[in-house]
Amino acid sequence: MPLSTLFVGSLLFLQVGAIPERDNAAVLRRACPDYTSYSQTQHGPYSGGPLNLPFQRPAPACRTFSSPTVEKVIDDVTSRLVDKDLAQLFRNAFPNTLDTTIRWHQNGTGTSSKRQSKRDTSVWNGAQTFIVTGDINAEWLRDSTNQLTNYQKLASNDKSLYTLILGAIATQSEYVIQSPYCNAFQPPSVSGIQPEKTTQVDTVHPAYEKSFVYECKYELDSLAHFLKLGTEFHENTGSTEFLTDRWFKALQTLLDTIDAQSQPTFNSQSQFVSNQYTFQRVTTIGTETLTLKGIGNPLNSGTGLIRSAFRPSDDATILGSFIPANAMMSAELQKIAKVLKKAGGHDDLADELEQRGKKLATAVREHGIFNHNKYGDVYAFEVDGYGSRIFMDDANIPSLLSLPYLGFLDASDKIYQNTRKMITDKSGNPYYLEGPDFHGIGGPHIGLENAWPMSLLVQAQTSDNDTEIMECINLVRDSSLLGLVHESINVTNIKEYTRSWFSWANSVFAQTLLKVARERPHLIFGEDAEPYSI
């Protein structure tokens, strides 16, 4: 029997009064189908467009968070969209984070979405929010920040979204304070949710608490995304309420971490110096562990760049000075400096952060730009300070393609344009994958036949060419046959994909469509259409 039929049967049973009304909500939640399975099956009502895309939102009683403001945006945008399939994809994608991934939220007044245990209440007070990535019941700092980006713009007029995001910042603060080298986290014990089980066998230094951490891959962009969650909140609401003592402690932990990861492999006497962080995994996949007994390849001194052991794909770096993450960190340090200056009372710290950001940006340009024999001056993907560099790009954000999206430079920048030509060309980027059904940037994480819709969406967001923008969006639409945006698509057969439920990709799709609606409404709403902003 289909999952949707089972749920409808449970709903009808409740409606006839077989269970007391006060217990209805709890019973309904227990009757809700698992969304990992639900997302792999098509459900009506269908779009009525050429692709006839399905409706993939859970029943209202099964949604993990609700916002009337979000529902209004869905109605406003879909009523304007000419393309019925594009409208259905937006209808499913824009609320996907709220519908499916808010596993625990307390609003700071004692109200929680889950029954709390009595442990750890000393730090888990006020608003808190635990957000999973989708089909894995763990929170990635990077994913959760990006999953909330679209709702940041609505938070100033929607108190529930405001508190949700405020709680997300507070929860991320606790993660950074306790385990700044880790990328993915378990639900807080105070939530009463059982930790996600993992079969991975890792040897990591510094050690971490497995009931607190899901995976401990040190990724510089994870820390940059922690800053981004706060800067976006301030930029959209004007609020500095997130600047608590715990947030400042997390900030100091972050600064201590990037200072430690700015050190070279050998000191001035050419002696090896152990890094604070090492990682080894029992695996047959080379990208899942670090070389040299978990240390990684050597990095030279004097670059001013910060090491990142892993990429945002969760794949190990080859050369640890990962340029996109350094670019992102430089931008976010300068952005958070502006927030602190507006908040007042933190001028010295704000000046320090601003200088750190500017110096890092200079280091990225000084050590990350090389002359390519075909494309001219371009940004390398990874460097080591010894002159070695890797020319490629990966679909995950931050990437070289996303440098304007990150706020590091303007899309018109000549070196960026050279870089863009290189990484969207098979002869310049080994992970630019092409097939009869699909094309785009992929990466080693999935393999040599799968490109990522996310790369096409970033390509659209960083383009000023109407044709290119719509080609990218339509490729994503045509490959999202389940009505949801996938992690990756096989370039020779769009029916083969990875991850039916991947909330970050759906968030980037909605973000892309909203950017077009704001800046180029004629492309999706029809000629002479007025711009639409949320």
Mind listing the domains of the chain with CATH numbers? 194-430 (1.50.10.10)
What is the Cα–Cα distance from 506 to 93, expressed in whole angstroms? 5
Q: Is the pLDDT of residue 15 over 90?
A: no
Say what the pLDDT of residue 30 is.
77
Pick from 169, 283, 323, 286: nearest CA to 233? 169
Beta carbons within 10 angstroms of residue 281's beta carbon: 17
Least confident interval from 64-68, 85-89, 106-110 = 106-110
Tokens representing 286? 């080379």
Say what the pLDDT of residue 25 is.
55
The string of pLDDT tens digits covering residues 416-447 is 999 999 999 999 999 999 999 999 999 999 99
Q: Is the pLDDT of residue 28 over 80?
A: no
Bridge partners of 370? 378
The string of pLDDT tens digits covering residues 92-117 is 999 999 999 999 999 987 555 554 44
What is the Cα–Cα distance from 357 to 128, expressed in whole angstroms? 29
What is the Cα–Cα distance from 323 to 330, expressed in whole angstroms? 11
Helices (H) and strands (E) in the chain, counts: 18, 17
User: What proportions of the chain, in percent to the nearest 5, are helix, strand and coil?
Assistant: 45, 10, 45
Beta carbons within 10 angstroms of residue 137's beta carbon: 19
Pick from 79, 32, 48: nearest CA to 71? 79
Say what the pLDDT of residue 110 is.
55
Q: Is the pLDDT of residue 415 over 60?
A: yes
Cβ neighbours for 505, distance < 8 A, ≥ 6 positions apart: 452, 453, 454, 457, 485, 486, 487, 499
Phi and psi at 499, nearest 5°, equal 65, 100
Say what the pLDDT of residue 112 is.
58
Bridge partners of 134? 502
Q: Predicted confidence band at 523 (pLDDT cuts at 50, 70, 90)?
A: very high
Pick from 498, 482, 487, 503: nearest CA to 453? 487
User: Residue 444, CB half-sphere, CA atoms under 13 Å: how many?
Assistant: 13
Phi and psi at 296, nearest 5°, equal 95, 165
Cβ neighbours for 427, distance < 8 A, ≥ 6 positions apart: 374
Residue 377 is classified by DSSP as: E
SS3 369: strand
What is the Cα–Cα distance from 353 to 330, expressed in whole angstroms? 9
Pick from 256, 253, 240: nearest CA to 346? 240
Residue 133 is classified by DSSP as: -
Q: Check residue 447 and give left, alpha or beta (phi > 0: left; psi -120 to 50: alpha).
A: left
Pick from 460, 473, 510, 397: nearest CA to 151? 510
In whole angstroms, how far apart are CA 426 and each of 201, 393, 416, 434, 453? 36, 11, 17, 8, 17
Say what the pLDDT of residue 160 is.
97
Q: Predicted confidence band at 31 (pLDDT cuts at 50, 70, 90)?
A: confident
Q: Is the pLDDT of residue 183 over 70?
A: yes
What is the Cα–Cα distance from 202 to 354, expressed in whole angstroms? 36
The string of pLDDT tens digits covering residues 132-161 is 999 999 999 999 999 999 999 999 999 999
| Average per-residue pLDDT for the chain | 93
Say what the pLDDT of residue 113 is.
57
Q: Please check whether residue 258 is in contact with residue 328, taking contact to mean a CB–CB distance below 8 angstroms.
A: no
**pLDDT above 90 as % of the chain:** 91
Pick from 60, 83, 62: nearest CA to 70? 60
| DSSP, residue by residue, 114-132 | S---STTTTTS-SEEEEE-
Say what the pLDDT of residue 14 is.
39
Rg, C-alpha atoms of the chain: 23
The string of pLDDT tens digits covering residues 228-280 is 999 999 999 999 999 999 999 999 999 999 999 999 999 999 999 999 999 99
More confident: 5 or 506: 506
The stretch 359-371 carries a mean pLDDT of 98
Tokens representing 391? 């020319």
Show the beta-strand stretches assigned E in 101-238.
102-107, 127-131, 139-140, 184-185, 202-205, 213-215
Say what the pLDDT of residue 381 is.
98
What is the Cα–Cα distance from 285 to 289, expressed in whole angstroms? 8
Cβ neighbours for 328, distance < 8 A, ≥ 6 positions apart: 220, 221, 224, 228, 398, 406, 408
